[in-house]
Amino acid sequence: MKKFLWAMLISFLFILGACGGGGDEEGGNGGDTEESSEEQTDGDVDVEAAEQVYEQSCASCHGGDMEGNVGPALNEIGSKYSSEEIQEIIHNGKGSMQAQNVEDQDAELVANWLASME
């Protein structure tokens, strides 16, 4: 049930992003301009911004819906790792995953978000 809610939320954000953003996906440092996200901030996690980091840095290996691809599925990763542990994996790599070149604050954002997946 929780997963279903997340899926709803994520597709909702996706639609909003597609309409409102109008092609602001330039690969550079985009992401921190959308402070005004409506009521979707879940606790202190900015889901929309976290999703952008995920899309840019993680989705190619972990799948667009965290279903896994080259890397394992992350859709229940919060039941396995804390945000701190995920940040460590992002910065230092793990097994066959190399360290990712992600800004500290983005790593924290995406790790907080992933840690809520359980």
Phi-psi region of 41 (alpha: psi -120 to 50; beta: other; left: phi over 0): beta
Kindly state whether residue 86 participates in binding ligand HEC, applying the rule CB under 6 A: yes
- Judged by CB under 6 A, which stretch of 4-12, 22-30, 35-43, 93-101 contacts ligand HEC? 93-101
Q: How far apart are CA 57 and CA 52, in angstroms?
A: 8
How far CA 77 is from CA of 63, 65, 116, 118, in Å, comes to: 13, 13, 8, 6
Q: Which residue's beta carbon is nearest to the bound ligand HEC?
A: 95
What character string, x for contact with ligand HEC (CB under 6 A) and - otherwise, covers 43-82?
A: --------------xx-xxx-------xxx-x--x--xx-
Residues found near ligand HEC in the complex (CB under 6 A): 57-58, 60-62, 70-72, 74, 77, 80-81, 86, 89-90, 94-97, 100, 102, 110, 114
